[in-house]
Amino acid sequence: MNIARRDFGTPTIVDAPLVSLTIDGVAVHAPAGTSVMRAALSAGIGIPKLCATDSLAPFGSCRVCLVEIDGRKGMPASCTTPVENGMVVRTQTPSLAKVRKGVVELYISDHPLDCLTCAANGDCELQDVAGAVGLRDVRYGFAGENHLGQPKDESNPYFAFDPSKCIVCSRCVRACADVQGTFALTLTGRGFDSKVAASESEPFAQSECVSCGACVQACPTATLIEKSVIENGQPDRVVKTTCAYCGVGCSFDAQLKGDQLIRMVPDAVGGANEGHSCVKGRFAWGYATHKDRVTTPQIRERIDQPWRDVGWDEAIAFAAQRFVAIRARYGRHALGGISSSRCTNEEVFVVQKMVRAAFGNNNIDTCARVCHSPTGYGLKETFGTSAGTQDFKSVDHADVILLIGANPTDAHPVFASRMKRRLRQGAQLIVVDPRRIDLVRSAHVAARHHLPLRPGTNVAMINALAHVVVTEGLVDEAFVAARCERESFERWRAFVASPECSPEHVARDTGVSAAEIRAAARLYAGARNAAIYYGLGVTEHSQGTTMVMGLANLAMATGHIGREGVGVNPLRGQNNVQGACDMGSFPHEFSGYRHISDAAVRGAFDSKWQVHLDPEPGLRIPNMFAEAIGGAFRGLYVQGEDVAQSDPNSAHVADALRSLDCLVVHDLFHNETSNYAHVFLPGTSFLEKDGTYTNAERRINRVRPVMAPLAGISEWEAVCRLSTALGYPMSYGNAAEIMDEIAALTPTFAGVSFAKLDREGGMQWPVNDAASLGTRILHENGFVRGKGKFFLTRYVPTDEQSNRRYPLLLTTGRILSQYNVGTQTRRTANVAWHARDLLEIHPHDAELRGVVDGDTVLLSSRKGSTTLAAHVTSRVPEGVVYTTFHHPGTAANVVTTENSDWATNCPEYKVTAVEVRPTNERTRVDA
């Protein structure tokens, strides 16, 4: 069965007046600017094509799509000819048929005729076109000069390139440039000698290619094709679902053959990604069936014993009996749970419900504690809602983009591609980051300003930017007067106008010249539309919340909030960080960010859940660990999070976990945390889940099961069974019923149901009576809290300062091919690109220490030390070193400290004073 979607040949045109024309005698109406090809197909009239595809602007090279138009000479290409009022078009005439057949005959004469054994058989546009034009033989034979027999490039782990099948349509080259924005491919040579080349005619794996797969998707033949299709054949059915990696939340067609997943193809109408993807979502899904998956529940009496496989009943009974015993002996506050941003909204909701209703306390926290908790707090206080203000499409209208503490090309690649497209259209970019991230300068993109501030000085920087705004008359007075709290604004204005906030004053702390800060502030404030995008480089600081508030202040003061093209936008790390927070995973909040102490809200939950809920906020993760070491906290349920590896000061976390009487880990694989566990409950990968994720745009997307749970039951079902065994019965017929309960209890989700999501596609919350199909942009006619509130953001230098013993500052981040602690991506072919974590160090700092590229170095802080390979590079400034944290062997969090954000306890991962030394053995490793 052919599952290919209908390709209209050229992109859709919206918001244009309709024009009327006649195609093959049929009256057709299409928006002005639409190609004749698209207009014809919209009316059910297909025109053969090869070089056109609707994800790319038309190119007009293959000459297969010719038509005749009254009053026009010759045969224009329908893909490059826009519709006009009164146009009369013919797509089928004897002359057209003859010319088309001749063109296709030429293509086929230089193409292998191995259709029956070709991997694209049944999914090849050349094959389709040959059939459509009625080609029956090739007059020229195959004896002359041709491109057949050229060597294949199979260097990429996920796709192959067979140049003998290339028809030089340039779709791949255009996809790499226009969709992905990497410009890794070119057409070299002319005429007959034209061919596709990656970078300087290198193998794909060694080229600049980032394996997004856009070229593979665009290729009309088997020239670029997934190895999974070559090995397993063409898929025959589709399940629409959502990527389980980053907070972009790309929608995919999971294409299967029977029960076997063959490939993931980004959904052309997926709201977040519109047909694009990155290497992780498209290719790195093999971990789901990796041999390391634990699919049977396991228990053990003590953590020094081996695991024993048991059935679900025994495992649940064992866990429940231990938790009940702890509750009896130490009281209900001795228990707690941690929910996961990798799990669905429904799975997270039942976990927090179990903790509140069955454990009997509010000791529920989530991994957002260690990433975006300052976003939740800071935006709630200033704007009234703990969420980003825009959808991704909004960046298409931004004239200036202020990117702070985020590296989207690695961490949010599909959004980065969209942002790069906007930059190529002329938007200006300001990058605030200690490191020279790719966006500072890459193919056809260059930041107007790069402010490489010292780690830990974000707040000084935002105050200096604000200082320029208020002292140079750049405040949007009308916006502030109409939309913001006057008193808080005046206090803030006086504060940031003070000399201590001036660019000149902070230049020494930040390491950035006052002139650059002033120029950047003027550019942002003076733009018609300026948008802020930020990441963990903002939040993971001791002043993370202060900085989020500073961003909100800046946006309000300049009026860059509440409409298209502006806003304050956190780029969320994990796929469901937004959702996990929305679902009431924090110890002080119910779903929808309502405080636990609100009697009316609590009453609604009491009544729905038939239980009397604790009005006191519970413990945050760091408090759970501290209390565990102190002896008062004894039992913990952890859903899909490897806290022993991902949380700061690993030794302290290990001490806490070791102190527990019962640790239940619910996950896909054994990990560092399960070393301390007594019960292991096998979880489900995204391919087995039925539910929803909420991405960084607040878009609630459906996740649909591609295969049955390998462990036999869903994660939410296991949680319900545990809760029931603890004496609080929970049961649902399916995940849709959990969403119904969420909707009933959460005003921002009031209009959400699986049936509606299946009908309408993803929707951005709030979804309710006032916005039945969701809300693209927040705060358009007023802030959710009423008037926007300014907060004073006094800069307090972190305690973590470099000194003689630890003279360098370590900051951390992600790389494109890997994801967080690598649990998933390390079990895929993505290790081809990042087999180990590297420590980036500036050449001057390296030379001072006698470190050369590739050396193994000892990285030490006040908290601990670890070894890893050095990469000497000027991407980092002097005095700063940088690493990723994807590999447990590196244990980067051995060195990070317990410093945390004053408001939310989000760890200060981004600033650790360290020293770097070559190790004694000076093992040379390949960096």
**Residue 643 interacts with, from ligand FES, ligand SF4, none (CB under 5-8 Å by kind):** none
Nearer to ligand FES, 67 or 557 (CB): 67
Tell which one of 56, 62, 619, 700 touches ligand FES (CB under 6 A).
62
Q: Provide, rounded to whole angstroms, the least separation between the CB of residue 139 and ligand FES.
A: 22
| Chain-centroid distance, C-alpha 28 | 40
Buried b (16+ CB within 10 A) or exposed e, 18-43: ebebebbeeebebbebbbbbbbbbbb
Least CB distance to ligand SF4 at residue 833 (A): 12
Given the rule CB under 6 A, which of 44-52, 242-250, 684-692, 878-886 is the region that contacts ligand FES?
44-52
Q: Which does 77 bind (CB under 5 to 8 A by kind): ligand SF4, ligand FES, none?
A: ligand FES
| Pattern 323-342, ligand FES, x by CB under 6 A | --------------------
Q: Concatenated DSSP letters for 870-883? A: EEE-TTSPTTEEEE
Considering the complex, what minimum distance in angstroms separates the CB of residue 229 from ligand FES?
24
In the complex with ligand FES, which residue's Cβ is closer, 49 or 421?
A: 49
Does 77 participate in binding ligand FES (rule CB under 6 A)? Answer: yes
C-alpha 872/C-alpha 855 separation (Å) is 9
d(CA 881, CA 873): 10
Out of 77, 87, 96, 172, point to the residue binding ligand SF4 (CB under 6 A): 172
Within 10 Å of residue 601's Cβ, how many Cβ atoms? 19
Nearest-angstrom CA–CA distance, 208 and 52: 25
- Shortest CB 10 distance to ligand FES, Å: 9
Chosen from ligand SF4, ligand FES, none, partner binding at 50 (C-beta under 5 to 8 Å by type): ligand FES
Rule CB under 6 A: say whether 210 interacts with ligand SF4: yes
Indicate the residue among 62 and 403 with the shorter CB distance to ligand FES: 62
Is residue 354 involved in binding ligand FES (CB under 6 A)?
Answer: no
Number of residues near ligand FES (by CB under 6 A): 12
Q: Which is nearer to ligand FES, 65 or 665 (CB)?
A: 65
211 binds, among ligand FES, ligand SF4, none (CB under 5 to 8 A by kind): ligand SF4
| Identity of residue 709 | P
Instruction: Name the minimum Å distance from CB 178 to ligand FES.
Output: 16
Among 66, 167, 310, 596, interactor with ligand SF4 by CB under 6 A: 167
The site partner of 223 among ligand SF4, ligand FES, none (C-beta below 5 to 8 Å per kind) is: ligand SF4
Q: Which of ligand FES, ligand SF4, none does 19 bind, CB closer than 5 to 8 A by kind?
A: none
DSSP 64-99: -SB-EETT--S--BTTTPBP-TT-EEES--HHHHHH
- Comparing C-alpha atoms, which of 498, 491, 605 is closest to residue 557? 491
Distance of CA 113 to the CA centre of its chain: 41
Nearest-approach distance from CB 25 to ligand FES, in angstroms:
22
Which residue is listed with tokens 């301390």? 676
From ligand FES, ligand SF4, none, interface partner of 63 (C-beta below 5 to 8 A by class): ligand FES
At how many degrees (to 10) do helices 715-725 and 312-330 cross? 50
Shortest Cβ 193–ligand FES spacing (Å): 20
CB-nearer residue toward ligand FES: 30 or 50: 50
439's contact among ligand SF4, ligand FES, none, with CB below 5 to 8 A by partner kind, is none
- Residues 107-166 within binding reach of ligand SF4 (CB under 6 A): 166
Applying the rule CB under 6 A, the residues between 229 and 288 that interact with ligand SF4 are 243, 245-246, 248-250, 273, 277-278, 280-281
Q: Is 176 in the site for ligand SF4 (CB under 6 A)?
A: yes
Determine the Cα–Cα distance for residues 867 and 858; give it in Å rounded to an integer: 5
Q: Select from 21, 28, 41, 65 the one that contacts ligand FES (CB under 6 A).
A: 65
| SS3 sequence of 800-851 | CCCCCCCCEEEEEECCCCCCCCCCCHHHCHHHHCCCCCEEEECHHHHHHHCC
Q: How far is the CB of 242 from ligand SF4 (least distance, A)?
A: 8
Q: Whole-number minimum distance, CB 664 to ligand SF4, in Å?
A: 28
* Residues within window 440-479 making contact with ligand FES, judged by CB under 6 A: none
- The Cα 822–Cα 384 span in angstroms is 35
Output the CA–CA distances (angstroms, integers) from residue 206 to 153, 559, 694, in the order listed.
11, 46, 35
Read off the tokens for 96: 């057209």
Cα dihedral: 686, 688, 691, 694 (round 10): 0
Give 240 or 327: the residue with its C-beta nearer to ligand SF4. 240
Which of 11, 31, 33, 63 touches ligand FES (CB under 6 A)?
63
H helix intervals, 357-500: 373-382, 408-411, 413-424, 458-471, 477-483, 486-497
Kindly provide the residue ranges of all beta strands, DSSP E only, lying in 2-85, ordered along the sequence. 18-23, 26-31, 68-69
Closer Cβ to ligand SF4, 62 or 665, answer by number: 62
Q: 694 has which bridge partners?
A: 700
Strand partners, 251: 242
50 makes contact with ligand FES (CB under 6 A): yes
Closest approach, Cβ 38 to ligand SF4, in A, equals: 20
Please report whether residue 79 would count as binding ligand FES according to CB under 6 A: yes
Cα-only R_g, the chain? 29
Residue 282 vs 620, nearer CB to ligand SF4:
282
The item of ligand FES, ligand SF4, none sharing an interface with residue 180, based on CB under 5 to 8 Å by kind, is: ligand SF4
What is the per-residue binding string for ligand SF4 in 393-432, x denoting contact by CB under 6 A? -------------------xxx------------------
Collapsing DSSP to helix, strand or coil, 28 comes out as strand
Residue 51 found at the interface with ligand FES (CB under 6 A) = yes
Q: How many residues does the chain have?
A: 927
Residue pair 523/430 in contact (Cβ under 8 Å)? The answer is: yes
Separation CA 589–CA 587 (nearest Å): 6
How far apart are the C-alpha atoms of 75 and 84, rounded to whole Å?
16
Q: Whose CB is nearest to ligand SF4?
A: 281
Indicate left, alpha or beta for 177 from its phi (over 0: left) and psi (-120 to 50: alpha): alpha
Q: Which of 190, 210, 414 is nearest to 198 (CA)?
A: 210
- Contact predicate 861/912, CB 8 Å: yes
Contacts (CB under 6 A) with ligand SF4, residues 343-382: none
Q: Can you tell me which of 215, 268, 445, 561 binds ligand SF4, judged by CB under 6 A? A: 215
Provide the binding-site residues for ligand FES, judged by CB under 6 A. Answer: 49-52, 60-65, 77, 79
- Binding residues vs ligand SF4 (CB under 6 A): 166-172, 175-176, 180, 182, 184-185, 196, 198, 209-215, 218-221, 223-224, 243, 245-246, 248-250, 273, 277-278, 280-281, 412-414
